[in-house]
Structure 1
Amino acid sequence: MSRRSLFPIVLLCCFHIKIIWCNQLASCYTQPSEFCPVQNKCKCVKTHETALFCCQVQSNEDLLRNFECSGAKLSNIQALHIYNMTADQFNFGKLSPELNRLISFSITNSYINRLLGRLEHTHQIACLNLSNNIFGTEWQDPLALENLKQLAMLDFSFVNISILPNIKIEVPIFWLDVSNNTKIRCESLLDLMKKSGNSKYKLNFVKHNETFCMSSLSFHWFNTTEKVALREVEGIKKLREDCPINCTCNWHGLDMVQDTITLQTIQVHCSNKQLSNLPENLPENTVLLNITNNNITSIDAFVSDPTYKTLRFFYADKNNISNLLSLEGSPFIDNYSVLSLKLNQLKSLPIYILQNSFTRFEAHKVYLGGNELDCDCSTAQSLKIWLLANQRHLPDYDAILCKNFPYKLKVLDLDQKLVCITEADWTQYMYYVIAAELSMLLLLIGKVSYDYWVFKTAGYLPWPASKMPKLPCDWVFE
C-alpha cells in the first residue's frame, strides 16, 4: 500500500480530536474509484487495519456479506467509504453494531431510492459524507442523525435533498457542506442557524460562495428569484434576531431591485398578543405586519416610525382602530399591496385617501368588512356609490355596516329616504309659505282699495282704518 493511500488514515487517527477542538477542517475518509476491488470478487477491501472501502453494493444485506469476505474485523474499523452504491433503499439502522468505533462514514456517487432508519450503533461518528448522491425521496426518518453526538462535519454537497435531517450540534465547531445542492430549502438552513445561534456551538459553512438555497417566490413590482446565496440567508437570520418583543419574524422572500441586486424582505407576526400599540422598530426591510386580534386603537406609527416605510402588507383585523387619517402622507399608502382592517371600530372612511391610492396602483386591496360606520346622507349618496365603483379594490365591499340603526344594515342597502332630507321636501314647504304670503298681500291690497273707495264716496273711513291714528304722511291721500 502506498504512502499516499495511508495519508488519510494518519489524518483519521487524530481526526476526532482535531475537528472538534480546532478550527481546522478535516475531510472524511474517501478513496478514488480506481481503488475499487476487481469485479466478481469481494466488493469491500481493507485499505488499512482501521479503514474499509466498498464499491457497487446493492443493499444492506449485500454490504454485510462483503464485510465478511473482506476479512476486516469490524470492531476495529474507524473509517468506511461506500462508493457507487445502487439500491432501492438503505437502512442506517441495519449497519452492523460492531461498527461502534466508526469515526468517518462516507456514501458517495450512489443512487439510493429511500434512506431509512437511524444511525444508532455508531455514536462516535465525527465526519459523515453523503455527497455526490442521488436520492429518490426525502429522508424517511428526520431523526436519522440525532444520535450522533460527536458529529462535527456533515457533507451534503452535490445532492438533491431539500430538507436537512434533524441535527444536534454538540461540538464547539460544526462544519456543514451543502454547496452545489440544487434543492436545499432556505428555511431548513435557517432552522439550523437558529439552533446554533441559541447555543454555545458554532456553525461553519464549507465553500461559502458556492452555497445556495431555494426560496418561495415573493412578487411585488420587481422581478424575483428562487435561488438565494448563503450570505443572504445569513442576513435573514440577523433580521430574525431583530424581531420585536412578543412577535415572530419569518423570511418573506426576495425582491430583485436591479439586475444583480436582491433585497431581503421579512414578515412580522404579532397576532393574539393583547397588544395596545403597534410594535416599534421593525426589522429592516419588513414588508408584512400581522397584528390581528389585539387591542390596538391607533396606527400613528405609519407616520412616526421610519421602520414602517417598507411595509406593503398590513393585517390588523379584530382590533379597535377608529380612523385611517394617519395613512395620509405615509409611505405605506403609496406602496401597499394589502390593507386589512376587518372588524375594527371605524366610524367613517376617508374616501379621498383610498381613492388616490387606487388610482396610482391597480393591485391595491383593502378589506373593511365588519366595520360599523356612522351612516348619514353622505354615506347614502357618496360612499355607497364609491364602494360599488371600487369593487376590485374592496373584495368585501358588501360587508360594511351602519351602526346607527336598530339592526345591522349594510351600507349598500342604505336608502336615502332614511337619512336624507331632500330638496323636494324643502321646496314643497316653501310653496306653501309663498302662497300664504301672496294671499295676505292680495287681501291687504283689496282692503286698502275698499277703504279708499268708501272714503271717496261716503267721506269716512270704515273700521278699522277709522280707529287708526293719523300719520304724518296721510296728507298725501287728502
Structure 2
Amino acid sequence: MHFFHLLICLILISPIWSLLPPDDSSCNNQCFHQPPEACPSAESTCRCRRLPNCQKAAICCNVNYFTLKEGLACGNITAVGGIESLHIRNATFESFNVKLSNSVWRNLRYMTITDGNISRIDGEFAKHSRISCLNLSSNHINAIEDRALGTLYNLSILDLSHNNLTELPSVRKESVTLDISNNTNLICSKLTNTLISRPEIIFISENQTFCITTKDYDWFQSADILPFSQVKAGHELQKNCHRNCTCKIDRYVSLQGKSSTYQVAVNCSGKKFLSLPVPLPDKTISLDVSHNNITSIKEMSDPSYENLRWFFADDNQISSIQPLEGTKFISNFDTLSLSRNRIKIFETYVLDNVEFQRVSINIRNIYLGYNKINCDCNTMKLKAWLLSKLSHIPDHDNIKCDNINVKVTELDASKMCQSSQDWTDYIYYIITAEVVLLVGLITKVSYDYWVFKTAGYLPWPANKMPRLPCDWLCE
C-alpha cells in the first residue's frame, strides 16, 4: 500500500522537476572546459550542440573549417543565441582564422579550443569582444599572428600550454595571467623580451615552463633547455645592476653534465667612472667601460671578475696592464681592448704565459691602437712580441711611437739602439788608452830609475821636474 502511495507521489511531482532550472555547476569554472563525453554523439549529423546542463554554453567536436561553420548553424549557436561559453574540441585546421564567425565570438566570455591539430592562429578578433578567458592549449600551434589577440581588451586569462610556439603573441590588456607551459620550442631570448616589455604579465605553471637556448656559444652547437626560473632570474639582473650600468643576459649556455644557466653582459660605458665597477653581477662574462676616466684596472683581481672573458676599456686613462698579472682574466680572456689609453710601456711579460693558439671558436684578440708608446731600444721587445702575435692584434698598424711617428712593428733596431752602442764603444776606447798610458808610465819610471842608478843622473824630462818631498826615498 505504501509502495503505491510513493509511486503516485513520484508521478505527480515529476512535472515539477522538469520545470527546475538546469544545473550550472559544471559551467561555473573560471574558464569553460568540457570533457569528451559532452560532445555530440557519433551518430549526430551536427557537430555542435548546446549543453542542457549549462545555460548559455555549447560544445563543438571533431570539426574542420566547413563542419564548424555548419555545426554552429545547426546547433543554434548564433550571434543572437545567447551563447557565452564555447568549447571546440579536436579541431583540424591548417590555419584557424579567428575572423571566422566573428559575430558569434563577439558575445563569448569564455572561448576554449583544445586537443586539436591547428598550425597557426590568424586573423583578428572583432573589436570590443568580451572574451575574458581564451584557452588554446594542446593544439600543436606553431605561431599566432601578432595582431590576432590585439582587440581582446577584457582578456584576463590566456592558456597557450602544450603547443609548439617559438614566441609569445602580443596581448593588449595590461594584466594577463598566462600559461605557456610545455611549449617545447620557445626561444629564451624571445621570452626575455616579453619579460622586459610586459612586466605586469603573471606567469603560471612556471615549473613546467622551459625554453630553448641560442646556438652561438663557443663550441656548443646544439640547442639546450633552460627552465623558466633561470630566465626570470636573468630578468631580475637589472634591478641589482651596478649604479648607472646596464646588465643583461648575454647568452644561455650549458656545460656537459651541468644544468643550463645564463651569462651576463655589463655595460658601463660613458658614465664618467674613475675606477672599475665592483662587484660585478654573478656570471658576468662581458664588461664594457669604454669612454670613462678610469686610470687603473687593479679591480680586475676582485673575485667578481673571475668569469670575465670580454673586457672593453677603450678611451680611458689606463697607463699599465701590470695589474692583470696573476688574474683569472688573463688566463681565460677572449678579448682585451685598451685602445686610446695612456699606455707608454706595454709589459709584455704579463702575457708570456697566455696560450693564444688554443682550440676554440673564439680567437683571442688584444686591441692596443692609439696609445702613447714611448719608444727606445727597450721597445724592440714589444716589436718582437707584436710580430709574433699579429693575427691576435687586429689594430697593430695603429700602435705607434709617441716620440717618433713610426709604427712599433716597423722600428729599426740599428737606429733605436745606435746611441747606446756608440757610447759603449767609446768606453772601450778610453779604457784601452788608459791601459796603454799606464804601461808607458811604468816603463818610463823604470827606465829613469835604471839610468839614475847606473849613470848617476836623471834623463829628460825627469831632471827638469821640481823636487818633491818624497824624492829622498829614491836617493
Partner of 2:191: 189
- Greater gyration radius: 2
On the 8 A contact 2:369/2:396 being kept in 1, the answer is: no
Distance 1:425 1:354 in 2: 33
Q: Gaps spanning 5+ residues in structure 2: where?
A: 1-21
Find the counterpart in structure 1 of residue 79 from structure 2.
74
Instruction: Give identity over the alignment, percent.
Output: 35
Looking at structure 2, the residues matched to 414 and 36 of structure 1 have their Cα atoms a distance apart, in angstroms, of 91
SS in 1 for 2:161: coil
- 2:158 matches 1:154: yes
Q: Could you tell me how far 1:435 is from its partner in structure 2? A: 5.6
Partner Cα distance (1:271, 1:476) in 2? 85
Q: 1:301 to 1:361 in 2, by over 3 A?
A: farther
Taking structure 2 as the reference length, the TM-score comes to 0.78
* 1:420 aligned partner, one-letter code: C
CA contact (8 A) 1:220 1:255 kept: no
**1:321 maps to 2:318:** yes
Counterparts of 2:37 and 2:346, CA distance in 1: 74
How far apart, in 2, do the equivalents of 1:187 and 1:33 lie?
A: 41
Larger CA deviation: 176-185 vs 448-457: 448-457
CA contact (8 A) 1:145 1:165 kept: yes
Give the letter aligned to residue 404 of structure 1: D
Gaps of 5+ in 1: 1-5, 16-25
Q: 1:441 to 1:231 in 2, by over 3 A?
A: closer
1:388 corresponding residue in structure 2: 387
Taking the aligned partners of 2:133 and 2:295, their CA distance within structure 1 comes to 56
Q: Which amino acid aligns with 1:158?
A: H
Residue equivalent to 2:169: 165
Q: Secondary structure in 2 aligned to 1:176? A: strand
Q: One-letter code of the match for 1:68?
A: A
Q: Distance in 2 between matches of 1:144 and 1:294?
A: 47
Letter of the 1:185 counterpart: I
**Mapped contact 2:93–2:118 kept (Cα < 8 A):** yes
Paired residue for 1:176?
A: 178
Distance 1:442 1:354, change over 3 A: closer
2:109 corresponding residue in structure 1: 103
Q: Is the 8 A contact 1:218 1:254 kept in 2?
A: no
Distance 1:458 1:423 in 2: 53
**Paired residues of 1:223 and 1:256 also in contact (CA < 8 A):** no
Cα drift, residue 431 of structure 1:
5.0
In 2 relative to 1, CA 301–117 (structure 1 residues): closer, same or farther, beyond 3 Å?
farther
Does structure 2 conserve the Cα–Cα contact (< 8 Å) formed by 1:37 and 1:45?
A: no
Aligned residue for 2:352, secondary structure, equals helix
Q: Normalising by the residue count of structure 1, what TM-score does the alignment of the two structures yield? A: 0.78
Post-superposition Cα deviations, 1:244-278, rounded to whole Å, max 9, x if no partner, equal 33332222344556835444432222334454443
Map 1:295-374 to 2 at 5 A.
Answer: 295-303=293-301, 305-358=302-355, 365-372=364-371, 373-374=373-374
CA contact (8 A) 1:239 1:284 kept: no
The 3 A distance-change label for structure 1 pair 282 and 169 is: farther
Aligned-partner residue type, residue 189 of structure 1: L
> Could you tell me whether the CA contact under 8 Å between 2:400 and 2:408 is conserved in 1?
yes
CA deviation after TM superposition for structure 1 residue 205, in Å: 0.9
How far is 1:183 from its partner? 0.5
Distance 1:275 1:11 in 2: 64
In structure 2, distance between residues paired with 1:282 and 1:35 = 59
Within the alignment, does 1:279 sit opposite 2:281 as a pair?
no
Residue 42 of structure 1: how far off its partner (Å): 3.4
- How far is the alpha carbon of 1:32 from its aligned partner? 1.7
Aligned residues: 448
Alignment match, 1:23: none
* Of 69-78 and 260-269, the range deviating more from structure 2: 260-269
Q: Which residue of the other structure, out of 50, 53, 56, is the alignment partner of 2:56?
A: 50
